[in-house]
Structure 1
Amino acid sequence: MLKRDYAARPVHHNDMLLDQTPLSPIFARELQIIRQHWKIVLLCIMLSGAAGIAVAFLLPPRYAALVQFNVDYRTMQLRQQDAVYSESAVTDGVVESEVEVLKSEPTALAVITQLKLTDDPEFVPAGTSWRNRLAMFSGLGFLRGEEASSASRTALHNFQKALSVHRIGLSHIVEVRFRSTDPAKAARIANTISNVYLLGQREARANYAKSASAWLRPRVQEAGPSTSVLARAEPPSYASGLSDKVIFCGFLLFGACSGIGLALMVEATNSRIRNRDDLVNAVPLSCYGVLPRIAAVGRPKFGIEFIEFIVKNRNTALLHVIHHCRLAVMSSHPGETVRTIGVTSCAQGSGKSLVAAQLAMLMVQSGEKVLLIDANPYNPSISRLLAPHAAGGLHQALKGDVPLLDCIFESNGLGILPITSTSYSSQSSLIWTPRMSRLIGEALAICEYDAIVFDLPSISPYADVRASAPLIDVFLLVVGHGEGTENIRENLREIDDVAQKISGTVLNDGVNL
């Protein structure tokens, strides 16, 4: 009576039962990934924050001294015989040329030489250079001759990093800033740059005037660039650059961005099931929804009270998913009544026992008389949590030692047939035999149950799902959050002869008995 020929019947999925979810808001997927990998994001933020504190603590304050120049350019005009006039003719090119002169290597080297900055640890860090170390180790003395040149180049490099020269807007004013860890040193170097630059201008005009006649020489000396100092540098009273708070916040922002980027990269390379889309892409089955996480506040933790709490709370998203599963499973075979339902999974710990108990309880709430059978002798969660004190169970009913009605534990209208023996695994060979077929017939005909829900073992490593196929009308596959895609596909390939009876899937995001 219970065995049916499914070979000629095509698999049917009711399209009206597919999960109709609204369009996701912008970045909803990214926010979900961040929530899933929050530990990675938090770790990156903490590491970057620690680095920011170290940098802010170890980085010495720097002071910027300022010198301003007003650039002028004099040209000689011959108005009449023996009459020569000097006129100003400043152009953008002239100002930009003077900016480049102030930033040039000759100007910098002249300041370095005059102030002996090659002996200053700020510009040439203390310690033996690699050339000296190589010379001492190999005995190649000629390498030491390059030490002076190396010190000058090092000082020049650090000098130019601390120097900033730019034109202020479209004016003729050029601003020179020099940064140093010592405010007095910063002002001294900035003023020396000014002196070297002005001296160079005077020498250039003097050399140009040598070629003129004695009468024209003093007038020619007034031509060419003529830069005046508007403000000489004074030791700054406060440090410039980024404050410690800005540095710390910048490192925190960098850590957050790095953590989010790393989380997205981990997710992109992860082949595990994280959401409904991953599950739909992994297996060609309908997904009836995602069981959400349930807050522990205000709810029982275990047992039938937990099941009843969720069923009675009609506003929970979990209840809606179970209701969706019920409608989908019961309408899997149009024109035929579904009497036996098997709930299984591809891996242990996926929460299938919760789904089986929820499905059975919801069917009872809908007015049906339902028997929930714990058919998992390897891990009988239903028996331990919902019927821990039952006198009889599945083993006794199959052997015929005790009448079936005496083995069924009743709880709020739900019949539960538990496994009571302490040697659970020894009963596996007895369950899926002709005795189970007779038990199902007795439960439906004599005990007048409308439907039977089986809590089955996982597909792997057990063979119970394949053995149960002749007696089960339809299966529901529960997938746990984080299960591997390839593992699910491999398990379904192992039962490809009964896969057509799988109505659909449900993703468990962390709810369990």
Structure 2
Amino acid sequence: MDRIDKSSIVAQSTREEEREVALAHVPPVDLLRPLRILYAQKWLVMAILLVISVCGVFYVLQQRPIYTARGLLLIENTRLETGREELLPIVSNVDVSAVDTQVEIIRSDAIALHVIASLDLVRDLDFVGSGAKSLARRTLDTFSEYVALRDIAEWLGSGSLQGQQRSERVALQAFQNMLSVKRVGMSSVIEVIFRSQDADKSARIVNEILNAYLAQQLDAAAAATANASAWLRDRVKDLGTKARVISLAGPPIRREGPTRTLLLAGFVALGLLLGIGAAALRFALDQTIRNPRQIERLLNVPYLGAVMRFPRTPYRAWPERRTSRRLMRAPLSPSSDLAFVVKRIRTAALRRGRGQIIGLTSIISGEGATTLASNLACSAVVAGCRVLLIDGNPYKPSLTRLFEPGATTGLLDVLAGRCTIAEAVAINMKSGVHFLPYAGGVGTPVVDAVRVQSFVRECRDSYDIVVVDLPPFAPVPELLCARTFVDAFVLVVEWARTPSSLLTSAVLAAGMNQNDFLGFVLNKVNRIAIDPFSYPIESHLSKYRFQEYAESPSAQSFPSIVPWRIERSLARGDVHYTGT
């Protein structure tokens, strides 16, 4: 029994420890992540907001004011009171059907045509012109005025009306669209509403509708009593459903609907909501690498850090100066994120042993492998290491054009056995890096295993670390040849550019696994859009790195390539920068 109790207690404590460990590894909720997502998609949001705002401005400018006039009618029912010697008319309650009948009479075409004829509305442009057109048609007419295409619009069917009958039908349709007749609640009062672009015109039309309806009622009563006796006519004329005006329509003071400012604010809000929705949809459908956990799940490769996007160099600087600043930024800014990433790569390489050959590559061209390779070599020299930098990119030898533009011998000669490493290596006086350019032939050399082993052995014996700038995975096959002498690869992935599917397929096509990689680096990361729990170190250090680099004396006094030299002190093992 004691044995069972002890085992159950141990199992329970183990489960609690596992639960605590699992909870410790769950990242906290980042409340600012939606804002970072929106900042990363800011141009999409701004474009949609601008388009919707422009549409709103155009809509507000072409929209015409609408004024609403109202008039009230009271419907009464008069009948003869029975039970007396003399029949007297009395007022009784009006049932619902009687009121609805009067509503339909006021809304009838007969009343509308009478008002149209009496006010000559067939000549009013609000009924037969642009005011009676739809918004789309008015928009077409407005554009036609600006681009001088009014004749085309008339040719498409917006010309003058054909015939009086057609004019009446068009005016009647527009009149019915502007008219509204309804019963007020459960009472016997009928409200007549008319909307127009002219306040006085709205009031005149409502009053004319009331007069036409009353005139029709009087005519109907006169026709009913025409053949009755005098005594009966005096009583019948007061019987039946009667209406009287309790409120005439006056010109409205304020226009109907929201103001222009409110409309513009609504369009801006709509554009902002659509932009945010489009940004969220684009982020959900985005398959590019934006988080180091994506690569960790796909390749199971260690994460070495993230490098933020460099601040732009002024265009007045020479291209060589801009390139040199980029390729040698880490030694000049030891507290930058690039310097931290380079230190991690160097530390991980030295843990493997002395003379490690580290190849830096990417999935597609332009992701920053060359920049990282140059900074890794320069920072290792500053740290006191013997470094060999090899330009192994036959398609874009950027390092050769920068360090040794006139080189005649290089990597191809060494691998072909035409010269030794010592004969082909050039020492760059600016950085102190031993550099092996890509020169001596065209294409990939045909070498045997003995020469490759000799090349690797000489590199290990002469240098603490060897850095190789390699071509990207996807477009070129030369990376397969580099596996014969490279000890470990560092994969450089550009943030928000490299698709995850291309990353997986390129690595599988090269036949590599997690043991072939030293780690991966995310490059050109947007430092405002990053997730602080995905980039824990970078998010805290990026607040002051670039400002510190911009204010540092080395960044302000960094001239062109030529007037710098490095004097190496073998006794102290460091590097002194001396400007001339």
Displacement of 1:154 after TM fit? 2.7
For structure 2, the residue ranges without an aligned partner over 5 or more in a row are: 1-21, 131-161, 527-580
SS at match of 1:470: coil
SS at match of 1:426: coil
Paired residues for 1:238-253 under 5 Å: 240-241=256-257, 243-253=259-269
1:188 alignment partner, one of 184, 204, 207: 204
Displacement of 1:488 after TM fit? 3.9
Task: Check conservation: 1:69, 1:230, Cα contact below 8 A.
Answer: yes
Displacement of 1:100 after TM fit? 5.6
CA gap 1:79/1:510 in 2 versus in 1, 3 angstroms: same
Q: Give the equivalent residue in structure 2 for 1:492.
A: 507
Deviation per residue, 1:28-80 (Å, 9 max, x gap): 47515623xx1x55444444444444444444x33525133153544658485
Of 348-357 and 191-200, more deviation after overlay is shown by 191-200
| Residue type of the alignment partner of 1:185 | K
* Number of equivalences: 461
CA–CA distance in structure 2, aligned partners of residues 433 and 410 of structure 1: 34
Paired residues for 1:38-77 under 5 Å: 38=43, 40-59=44-63, 61-74=64-77, 76=79
CA–CA distance in structure 1, aligned partners of residues 236 and 335 of structure 2: 100
- Please report the RMSD computed on the Cα atoms of aligned residues, expressed in angstroms: 5.0
Residue 86 (structure 1) aligned with residue 107 (structure 2)? no
Deviation per residue, 1:349-388 (Å, 9 max, x gap): 1211123334455666777655433222322223444666
TM-score normalised by the chain length of structure 1:
0.68
Residue 308 (structure 1) aligned with residue 314 (structure 2)? no
SS at match of 1:462: coil
Residue 459 (structure 1) aligned with residue 466 (structure 2)? no
Residue 444 (structure 1) aligned with residue 457 (structure 2)? no
CA–CA distance in structure 1, aligned partners of residues 311 and 97 of structure 2: 71
CA–CA distance in structure 2, aligned partners of residues 460 and 124 of structure 1: 67
Displacement of 1:419 after TM fit? 1.0
SS at match of 2:41: helix
Paired residues for 1:281-320 under 5 Å: 283-286=298-301, 288=303, 290-296=306-312, 301-303=322-324, 307-308=328-329, 312=333, 314=335, 316=337
CA–CA distance in structure 2, aligned partners of residues 417 and 389 of structure 1: 13
TM-score normalised by the chain length of structure 2:
0.62
CA gap 1:470/1:224 in 2 versus in 1, 3 angstroms: same
Displacement of 1:340 after TM fit? 2.7
CA gap 1:226/1:276 in 2 versus in 1, 3 angstroms: same
Displacement of 1:163 after TM fit? 2.7
2:38 alignment partner, one of 31, 35, 39: 31
Of 67-76 and 471-480, more deviation after overlay is shown by 67-76
1:157 alignment partner, one of 158, 162, 173: 173
Task: Check conservation: 2:364, 2:474, Cα contact below 8 A.
Answer: yes
CA–CA distance in structure 2, aligned partners of residues 91 and 330 of structure 1: 100
Task: Check conservation: 1:285, 1:505, Cα contact below 8 A.
Answer: no
Task: Check conservation: 1:123, 1:155, Cα contact below 8 A.
Answer: yes
Task: Check conservation: 2:403, 2:428, Cα contact below 8 A.
Answer: no
CA gap 1:387/1:190 in 2 versus in 1, 3 angstroms: farther
CA–CA distance in structure 1, aligned partners of residues 225 and 308 of structure 2: 89
For structure 1, the residue ranges without an aligned partner over 5 or more in a row are: 1-14, 127-145
Q: Give the equivalent residue in structure 2 for 1:120.
A: 124
Task: Check conservation: 1:371, 1:416, Cα contact below 8 A.
Answer: yes
CA–CA distance in structure 2, aligned partners of residues 337 and 19 of structure 1: 38
2:483 alignment partner, one of 465, 469, 492: 469
Paired residues for 1:163-242 under 5 Å: 163-165=179-181, 175-202=191-218, 214=231, 218=235, 221=238, 224=241, 226-234=243-251, 240-241=256-257
Paired residues for 1:310-459 under 5 Å: 312=333, 314=335, 316=337, 339-360=356-377, 370-385=387-402, 394=411, 399-401=418-420, 403=422, 407-409=426-428, 415-419=433-437, 421=439, 426=442, 428-429=444-445, 434-447=450-463, 449=464, 451-459=465-473
CA gap 1:419/1:151 in 2 versus in 1, 3 angstroms: same
Identity %: 25
Deviation per residue, 1:398-447 (Å, 9 max, x gap): 543562796344766x73424164x6x62641789644543332333344
| Residue type of the alignment partner of 1:494 | A
CA gap 1:462/1:210 in 2 versus in 1, 3 angstroms: same
Displacement of 1:326 after TM fit? 6.3
